[in-house]
Amino acid sequence: MSETQTDLTTGPLKLNFLSHGTLESTDTEKSRRFYEEFLGFEVVRSSPISLLLRMGGSNTMAVVEVKTKEPMPMLNHNGLDVSTKADVDAAHAKAVAQTEKWGIKKVTRPLDQHGTYCFFICDPDDNWWEILTNPEGGYSWMFERGEQTGRGHLDKDFERPEGTG
């Protein structure tokens, strides 16, 4: 363990698990359809104005209805992993073809970026999603590599797990 890491079992807050993040929506029913039918999330209503989303693990995203919402900056996006570049291209083609149906506000073109192949979607609530190549477990492989120097995973020569770049 490096000097900058904290042992969760002995750290000052005694934390166990990163359980969720939160997104805002101006219409939870419309958002629910998008998350379930387009992105493929498992969705449950957690209150009259909120939903919980989950996909492929225990971490969840809460979606809370608000009266007015500021657009999410693209840098604050949420990642959805696929296995191959062909999977990214197929998802991109479907996103482009169904932009009007779902009210998708923007779809970027696929490209090699920060060590992965990806594209971004701005959903009807102005939340950004990145569809990217990653191995099973997402970016957990980065922890096995430890601290990075220089440009780290932004370096064009950064070695990623096979099949993801």
CATH number at residue 8: 3.10.180.10
The reported pLDDT for the residue numbered 44 is 98
Range of the domain at 28: 1-67
Q: Answer yes or no: do 81 and 60 share one domain.
A: no
Tens of pLDDT along the chain (165 residues) come to 455 555 556 678 888 888 999 999 999 999 999 999 999 999 999 999 999 999 999 999 999 999 999 999 999 999 999 999 999 999 999 999 999 999 999 999 999 887 789 999 999 999 999 999 988 888 888 888 888 887 777 777 777 777 565
Q: Answer yes or no: do 55 and 99 share one domain.
A: no
Q: Answer yes or no: do 17 and 33 share one domain.
A: yes
Provide DSSP, the chain. --TT---TTTSTT------EEEEEES-HHHHHHIIIIII--EEEEEETTEEEEE-SSS-EEEEEE-SS-PPPPGGG-EEEEESSHHHHHHHHHHHHHTHHHHT--EEPPPEEETTEEEEEEE-TTS-EEEEEE--TTGGGHHHHH----TTGGGSTT--PSTT--
Which of 67, 102, 120 is the C-terminal boundary of a domain? 67
- How far apart (Å, rounded) are the C-alpha atoms in residues 83 and 85? 7
- How far apart (Å, rounded) are the C-alpha atoms in residues 103 and 154? 32
- How far apart (Å, rounded) are the C-alpha atoms in residues 2 and 158? 21
Report residue 127 as tokens: 């939340």
The reported pLDDT for the residue numbered 135 is 82
Q: Answer yes or no: do 17 and 81 share one domain.
A: no
Q: Answer yes or no: do 52 and 82 share one domain.
A: no
Q: Answer yes or no: do 82 and 153 share one domain.
A: yes
The reported pLDDT for the residue numbered 126 is 97
Contact criterion met (CB below 8 Å) for 125 and 78: no
- Closest to 113 (Cα-Cα) out of 65, 160, 64: 160
Q: Answer yes or no: do 41 and 74 share one domain.
A: no
How many domains would you assign to the chain? 2
Q: Answer yes or no: do 116 and 152 share one domain.
A: yes
pTM for this structure? 0.86
